[in-house]
Structure 1
């Protein structure tokens, strides 16, 4: 499979993740975010482990716990704090620093060469997300900002470490381990801090099933597979596609209006992703030539 096919399949992950807000607000019960996050991760992870019949060995038990916490438990927990304390546009803009953090962590932990074009593309992507989502009345909250930045760092660290610790199994098995670990870490917090889950309707079950199987197991398997083949610097910039997807879905399904400025924001984001991928492709070509 060539690089562009892998890139396209990996890009499906953040595009699908952009539907999370729509599905959560329109199809799931409110007031139990930790429980929903746990249910999104744990059942999918356990089902995959039962199907694949492959468990971690040796040092991988500890690594899976760390990665499950960084990529799922801590990241989702901080994401919910940011979402509750900040307007959606502010939370998404703060979280958009993740690709930039990945670039610098890749330099520190993987000794990857920093590309000036990739850095500029990441900064431009953040600017595009701000244009797309921020409003003049957006309010700031210190704890929300800190949670958003810490969440972005958590996912970025998980992304880079997933590459540094090359798993001895395929992407689907690797995903099953992390989903299970992340869900198990969330389980006691959901039971302790949140009320019992209300009786689920058919709509709730469909929404949760979608987030668990499609938005969880399938997309993260694509994400980790792309990460193993393309590297964190190439994969991270694809995360900018998530807010674009969320806005388009809101316009299509919720009849939300899009301003000319938001279309400019989308264009800026897409250009930043293109520039970042172009820079990463040049690095790959240069590495093969030398």
Structure 2
């Protein structure tokens, strides 16, 4: 069977959002074992933004931005990246990468609840089933004594929840915000804004900066992967897919990413996999499936934006 060029591009794009995004949990976990979290995230996003600006300029995209658009990019960058990602990376100092990926899978559930509370949108029956399964799965996941007993685990879980709320708030905000028309340019400004905010955060918390030349090889490789694959390739693929396939198909990354993250964490970091975690994962991902398979309305937003 001979595939067309567009079909190959679609396959490659899905591979990027499935595997690369699923791998970011492992890469962040490996890097944060040596580097301070805000310092790590700031380098990632500033480097990625510079590369995206260079690519956008070479493609002759206009980099012009209004004051309002810049302020909106700064707010979006804070919600998605400076807080949503920076604090998530901080939490990985205590939380296993596979466990964290399962918590992140709750994102569609949280945005549904936020839309219900803030926008007064009705929950369809599939959404209600998904929410119920998600809550039960969440209970199974966090009620494991051997996990909760770990130092810093509870605070790490709570901070990840605040990151999910920040991500979902960013999704609702961006859906109606005035941003540069070109998503590539808008992403670059968001990443640059987040990177600068994270620098100030790193200084405020007194993180010790370390020259890249002094990093361990594992850390250097992880950061390169985060910049090139996690930030640029995956996010570009995400936006390409939104323009060429249905949002439902794109949102399948919500339940593929945790599977990738759990397997990578188990194989490379020897993270434990218990039967209860497996049951929780099945409940959570089934809940996400029900939420993603509900009937879409014109007001729905895609809450899987993770540059």
Tell which deviates more after alignment, 180-189 or 265-274: 265-274
8 A contact 2:101–2:262 mirrored in 1: no
Structure 1 gaps, min length 5: 285-290
1:206 aligns with 2:221: yes
Measured in 1, the distance between the counterparts of 2:181 and 2:56 equals 11
TM-score (norm 1): 0.76
Describe the shift of the 1:110–1:58 C-alpha distance in structure 2 as closer, same or farther (beyond 3 A).
farther
Describe the shift of the 1:24–1:100 C-alpha distance in structure 2 as closer, same or farther (beyond 3 A).
closer
1:271 aligns with 2:286: yes
Give a deviation string over 1:104-157, Cα, whole Å, max 9, x none. Answer: 334566675532312421442454466568633222766445423221110110
Instruction: Trace 1:181-196 onto structure 2 (pairs within 5 A).
Output: 181-192=193-204, 193-196=206-209
- Give the 3-state SS of the residue equivalent to 1:60 in structure 2: helix
Measured in 2, the distance between the counterparts of 1:7 and 1:158 equals 28
Count of residues in Structure 1 that have an aligned counterpart in Structure 2: 280
Describe the shift of the 1:245–1:275 C-alpha distance in structure 2 as closer, same or farther (beyond 3 A).
same
Measured in 2, the distance between the counterparts of 1:130 and 1:19 equals 25
Aligned pair partner of 1:68 in 49, 73, 77: 77
Instruction: Trace 1:4-43 onto structure 2 (pairs within 5 A).
Output: 9=13, 12-13=16-17, 15-26=19-30, 30-43=34-47
Measured in 2, the distance between the counterparts of 1:101 and 1:59 equals 28
Give a deviation string over 1:191-233, Cα, whole Å, max 9, x none. Answer: 4421121413444332211101111122233445566888999
Describe the shift of the 1:156–1:71 C-alpha distance in structure 2 as closer, same or farther (beyond 3 A).
same
8 A contact 2:42–2:198 mirrored in 1: yes
8 A contact 1:109–1:164 mirrored in 2: no
- Give the 3-state SS of the residue equivalent to 1:279 in structure 2: coil
RMSD over aligned CA atoms reads: 3.9
Aligned residue number for residue 219 of structure 1: 234
Give a deviation string over 1:30-54, Cα, whole Å, max 9, x none. Answer: 1411111111111111221132132
Give a deviation string over 1:209-259, Cα, whole Å, max 9, x none. Answer: 110111112223344556688899986774343332211123344555645
Give a deviation string over 1:35-86, Cα, whole Å, max 9, x none. Answer: 1111111111122113213242241111000000000001123324544466
Structure 2 gaps, min length 5: 1-5, 58-62, 299-307
Where is the helix percentage greater, Structure 1 or Structure 2?
Answer: 1
1:124 aligns with 2:133: yes
Describe the shift of the 1:209–1:89 C-alpha distance in structure 2 as closer, same or farther (beyond 3 A).
closer
- Give the 3-state SS of the residue equivalent to 1:56 in structure 2: coil
Measured in 2, the distance between the counterparts of 1:112 and 1:7 equals 34
8 A contact 1:78–1:148 mirrored in 2: yes
Tell which deviates more after alignment, 53-62 or 79-88: 79-88
8 A contact 1:103–1:233 mirrored in 2: no
